[in-house]
Copies of this chain bind each other. A is one copy, B any other.
Amino acid sequence: MEDIALCPKFEAAFELLGKRWTGLIIRVMLQGRRRFSDISGMIPHLSDRMLVERLKELEAAEIVTRHVYPDMPIRVEYELTMKGQELAPVLDQVQEWANKWYQTLHH
């Protein structure tokens, strides 16, 4: 049984994307630049603490960038990088699969 060239990239990408809420956060941000409160407002049950954590991970993975505006009070907006936007087909495929098979999806 040859050990097919199992790709660490594949596993790393899956792990990053598979974290709880990450898929939804990226999907919300595919609609454009968002403030923290916009994102948290659109995802019920997502705590602010968890959103802070996920945004940090996504920034570290260069999937999200943060824009800080020196208004009073300062304004912070989050945006998907090109790398983040190119996740759209992945999310679409997951949605398509889930739509077809959802009723048999068990928790």
Contacts and interface: CB of A to CB of B under 8 A. Distances in A.
Interface string A88-107: 01110111111111101111
A38 to B, nearest CB: 5
Identical copies of this chain, number: 2
B90 A97 contact: yes
Contacts of A94: 10, 13-14, 17, 90
Nearest to A14: B23
Interface residues of A, number: 52
A86 interface: yes
Given A9-B99, A90-B94, A98-B13, A3 B105 contact: no
A97 B86 contact: yes
A27 interface: yes
B44 A24 contact: no
